[in-house]
Structure 1
Amino acid sequence: MAAVVARQPILDKNKDVFAYELLFRGGDPTSDNFDGDKATARVISSALESIGFKKLTEGKPAFINFTDKLLKQGIPDLLAPGNVYLEILEDIKVDDHLLYALKTYKEMGFKIVLDDFIFSENLISLVELADFIKIDFLAIRGSARKNIIETCQKYNSNLKFLGEKIETHADYIMAVNLGYDYFQGYFFTKPEIIQTRESNSYEFSFFKMMEELNKEEPEFKTLEEIVKSDFSMSYSLLRIINSAHFGYDVKSIRQAIVLLGVDKLRKWSLLYFLKGLNSNKPDILFKTAVLRANFAESLSKYFCDDKSSNLFVLGLLSVIDGYLDRDIKDILEEISLFGEFKQALISREGKLGDLLSLIESFEKLNLKQCQQYLAKYSLDYNTFSRKYINSLEKTEEIINAFENY
């Protein structure tokens, strides 16, 4: 059975990663014969052993969806209580058997999470047991988002509240002000404020570097001057070129630039600048950028020919507006990026636009939409999932490398 494993970060009020929601599916979820219970049970018991729990969650807790059937069958017994939060689906049928199972799991150390929660009196017994309640910000609007907190706290004052499908900073700020404790959604990849503003010196160097690198024939002398103007950048470049990965013994910036070549220099400089721009952004934004870059690069043969290095850059640039808090169109004009890359980044047009849409649908755990793209480009679940896991490993390696420079 083909396995799909996806994860989505859950952030705290400081925008630090608190946990990851893990979604496990086997086979094609759009098939008439698809059995979600059997698929989830089989994938949890097998995929976690082969992929590794720590690799998926980076040592953070994992939120995992369970149906009443899986809970009653004892599937959570396969998992470590301290690392797993049991998400109870919104359509669950409450009965004595289920309540007994949840009480037992809670005594074992599992946390209980009510997913896509809408209050009704028949759910009070679950509210009393729960540790977390998740509110879908697309389904619940206005004053109801606050009323749910006030109502549920009457029955359980220790509850924590998680706003999910938080896709904009406006929703994030609203959730914070309403008293939510945790947040799930890709609001952190979007610009906080889009407006005309002056760039600081660091951003100015970024734009100069990208503009030169995106020319048909970049001038090495100009690139050398830009790198030399930033001591930290010079140091980082020399550390990279002299690392075990490349195995050189280089003392000259010009020599380092020539040895790396334009494609690798474009990769490195983007990583360098994004890491620096990350100082006032959540760490998960940099991880998301690097993961998208690795994932896009790994899928290059399905979406283009001989452009794997450029697809790495495409993945990194897909969140550049979130870093600079500016309109993506204006940013791409300033770094002289045109053609299919520009259309893919702005409006998700063409094959490369489909690639970004595929990655984003997978990030958001929208597997039905994901399957449409997989079918369009003749990608099977096994291959896709394997490339995602490999991309997670590469991402961890890159992030660890940059933390040491």
Structure 2
Amino acid sequence: MSIDSTLSTVLVGRQGIHAADGGLVAFELLFRQMPIDVLQSEADHEAATAQVISAVFGDFGVSDIAGSRPLFLNVTRAYLVGDIALPDLPGQVVVEVLEHVPLDDEVLAGIVALRAAGYRVAADDWDGTPERDALVRLADLVKIDLPQTGPENLVALVARARELHPGIQVVVERIEDAADAALAVAAGADLLQGYHLDRPQVVATSSMSPSDAVCLRLLGALASEAETAELETLVSSDPGLALRVLRMAGSPAGVGRPVRSVQQAVVLLGPRKLSAWVVLMVLGGAKRLPHEQVVTMLTRAGACARLVPRQRDVAYTAGLLSAVSEVLGTDPAETLRSSGVDPSIAAAVLHGEGPVGMALRAVVGHERANPAVVVANGFVPFEVSHVYLDALRESLRTAASLTA
């Protein structure tokens, strides 16, 4: 196993779902890391869903993808029966049951439980097959593929859906032109989706995904009910994991408010939510980030923490986010905004404000062999050099212990 985080470009697709009058009301999230036709097995589909969830909530931020609009998310059996957790955002997530998912008693019970928890459920690609009537009776929405159904059968299929569930909303998909839209509306569709209304948009961002080794170690610690300090140490040891935990804690699916440190994020998420997110990260996967860059990021964070012992956790987080932004090649302001951290940390990283900001600038000055910057921020170059060396030793020890 390796401590290495991974660096990649994350791609997520989204396509609008529109009201009959054309107004945008929701988005469907689409897997876009590779061609969809390579998803052959159930495990492939589970991993695709995990990548979409992890990217939207851990890399982009749900507000950047959809604002406050509902998000339709394609899911497999594992998500329906609770083997893999869904984002804890029932008011915004619509669970779309893929057409190939067998509707056994456990799946149907899982759908009932999801609806009781506040999630809405959509039956995907329904074609009137009697074996899926039970799903339509439970669902809030049913999606009908127009070309698959055929224009001549659409009215009857919409009527059949409402016979099974009078209050259900009908979404007609693959609306290719104005004639299709008029046909769907005349048949009684509530919502429309297709190229005539808009084509899927692919959004991309640089991502630093966590190391599988650290994630698995963290899952083991969570399963054994380890002390919070051990969990904090594991999360803090991996820049990709720490960044995602910060973002998830600050997101509506986490605690929905700014956090001041990685350590606080771990506490606020709690073991249950943290476990759920880590499972999704493990299912994601990406390319390796050089080990040396990981050690450098951890060293900057550790040095900052040592220079401001009274705000150790905050200084560590500021140093880590500063280094992550450099490695990703992203605007530091955007990295800080998307991470969901408290504005005081952003002020320290961006403007050098307060003791944390001055310490960070001194550490960066040391890294760049500029002692004048170290002195200008109130530190002695020898002191910073000594602290930095201690932090480097600890970073190397951390790497060794996690790969043992």
Q: TM class by shorter-chain length?
A: 0.3 to 0.5
TM-score by length of structure 1 reads: 0.45
Q: Highest Rg: 1 or 2?
A: 2
Higher relative contact order (CA 8 A, sep 6+): 2
TM-score by length of structure 2 reads: 0.45
